[in-house]
Structure 1
Amino acid sequence: MKSSGGTLPKPTVPKTASGAVPPASGRLARQRRPSWIAAGVMLLAFAVLANVYLFRSAGERRSVVRLARDVPVGHKLVQADLDVVRVAADSAVAVIPQRQLRDVIGQRAAVGLRKGTLLAASQLTAQQSPQPGQALVTVPLKASAVPPGLAPGWRVRVVFTPGEQSSGGNSVSGGVETNPLRDVKGMVDQVEGPDAEGATTVSLLVAESDSSTVARQAAADLVVLVVTERRG
């Protein structure tokens, strides 16, 4: 309706108790909308960056050489001993890349290695076993004389047990053994057995100067192995 003066009356705007005019709710919504949009864009960008990082991390897997089966210390590696696996190993981890696989074949294990081990250069040697100054001696042992879990690479001490007449030149005089043999340090090269009779054959790397004594005492069943260090 028109007023008597011919113009429409102005709409009445509600006021607060202090007399101020409250802002319109539509204006507040328009002001808040850009902040929500910005937050959504940041979250989306973060998700994209995270996916890119994970994708690149997965793509940085390297093909490295590992053992396909157990090998004893001194064993000359052949193709059948090795395979290749892709791992996400840190650059600080010592591994041998697949491109060097041919260089590994023909080298020897410096320690006893287990199946699944990722090969490192420090575990290999180009030297043959036994090395100069060493000899490989075979020692048959009864089941009760084999240290539990004996494996290639373990350090041992060869202890000679007394007999009525020692093969190493010891003799018994008046019930007292004279000229006792000293212990010999050695390292386990291979362990075979037990056989049908329960005997185990252990190949030991010992100093060449001690090899004859160890062989004679072992043949007379006068040898006991004491483990001094587990390795490999």
Structure 2
Amino acid sequence: MSQNTAQGLSGEATPTSRPMPTLNNSPRPRPKQRRRPWVFALCVALVAAGALGTAFAFTSINDTQEVLVVSQDIKRGETIEAGDLSVVRVSVDPALSPVAGSQKAELEGSRAAVDLWAGTLLTEEATTDSLVPGEGESLVGISLTPAQMPSEPLYAGDAVRIVTTPGDQGEVTNEDPVTVEAVVVAVSRVQETGETVVDVSVPEGDAADLAARAATGRVALVLDTRER
């Protein structure tokens, strides 16, 4: 390169990007960039958050299980068919006693013990292999006020007695009251009246007499021991 090229029009040398030489003519080292502590802390926090998210997703997947849900409405007593149930994977509280998805084929042909609605979880108590009422039994519905039944909640399978109460005048005789032994099948509450309708299974020979007595409203329900 000629001297004219290295100099400007004024005769002075043009500046270059080369580092200024030190006394021993060696290049001066560039200053090091200082790391900011908050950047390092942010990186650590992001890594930790990612690890926690992965652990949560892994735990959530392992907590789920395959259970049966009702895919279409099934009336009580109806036979359960293959298309009535579906298998889903969800996280379920074991206290609900869900039916495992692997039992779908086993439940085909069984009957609904209660009304089953589409989208609800199928529980072990929701199906039965026997019809209600069974052979030689009849189902009688009794409407009772809170004063005619115990405050203890009634459940299907409870052994009860339906007792005839005194007449309109409140007369009490020395004769033993008429009593019919029965088994609770279902319980429903009528919101409009506050009464409770209890469906009970009784022998066929007692059904007509019990229905007639229940129609008068002069009956009371007695809950017997649940110990078996």
Q: TM-score, normalised by structure 2?
A: 0.50
1:142 paired residue among 140, 145, 153:
145
**Alignment match, 1:158:** 162
Aligned amino acid, residue 188 of structure 2: V
Q: Is the 8 A contact 2:69 2:85 kept in 1?
A: yes
Does the alignment pair 1:193 with 2:190? yes
Identical-pair percentage: 29
**Alignment match, 1:212:** 208
- Name which of structure 1's ranges 198-207 and 211-220 shifts more when overlaid on structure 2: 198-207
Contiguous gaps of at least 5 residues in structure 2: 1-53
CA deviation profile, 1:14-52 (whole Å, cap 9, x unmatched): xxxxxxxxxxxxxxxxxxxxxxxxxxxxxxxxxxxxx99
Q: Is the 8 A contact 1:111 1:153 kept in 2?
A: no
What secondary structure sits across from 1:132 in the alignment?
A: coil
Cα distance in 1 for partners of 2:87, 2:197 equals: 33
**Alignment match, 2:5:** none
Cα distance in 1 for partners of 2:79, 2:190 equals: 22
- Please report the RMSD computed on the Cα atoms of aligned residues, expressed in angstroms: 5.0
**Alignment match, 2:11:** none
**Alignment match, 2:173:** 176
- Alpha carbons of 1:109 and 1:157: their partners in 2 closer, same or farther (altered >3 Å)? farther
Task: Considering Cα pairs closer than 8 Å and 6+ residues apart, tell me whether 1 or 2 has the greater RCO.
Answer: 1
Q: CA deviation at 1:190?
A: 3.6
Cα distance in 2 for partners of 1:147, 1:179 equals: 21
Cα distance in 1 for partners of 2:225, 2:85 equals: 27
- Name which of structure 1's ranges 103-112 and 205-214 shifts more when overlaid on structure 2: 103-112
What secondary structure sits across from 1:176 in the alignment?
A: coil
- Alpha carbons of 1:180 and 1:56: their partners in 2 closer, same or farther (altered >3 Å)? closer
Q: CA deviation at 1:150?
A: 3.6
Does the alignment pair 1:86 with 2:92? no
Aligned amino acid, residue 215 of structure 1: A
Aligned amino acid, residue 145 of structure 1: Q
1:126 paired residue among 126, 129, 144:
129
Aligned amino acid, residue 207 of structure 2: S
- Alpha carbons of 1:215 and 1:203: their partners in 2 closer, same or farther (altered >3 Å)? same
Cα distance in 2 for partners of 1:224, 1:153 equals: 18
- Alpha carbons of 1:147 and 1:164: their partners in 2 closer, same or farther (altered >3 Å)? closer
Cα distance in 1 for partners of 2:121, 2:225 equals: 20
Matches within 5 A, 1:83-122: 84-86=87-89, 96-98=99-101, 100-101=103-104, 104=107, 107-109=110-112, 119-120=123-124
- Alpha carbons of 1:138 and 1:56: their partners in 2 closer, same or farther (altered >3 Å)? closer
Aligned residues: 172
Cα distance in 1 for partners of 2:121, 2:150 equals: 24
CA deviation profile, 1:146-173 (whole Å, cap 9, x unmatched): 43364541512222213279xxxxxx8x
- Alpha carbons of 1:143 and 1:176: their partners in 2 closer, same or farther (altered >3 Å)? closer
Q: Is the 8 A contact 1:61 1:88 kept in 2?
A: yes
- Alpha carbons of 1:180 and 1:147: their partners in 2 closer, same or farther (altered >3 Å)? closer
Aligned amino acid, residue 130 of structure 2: Q
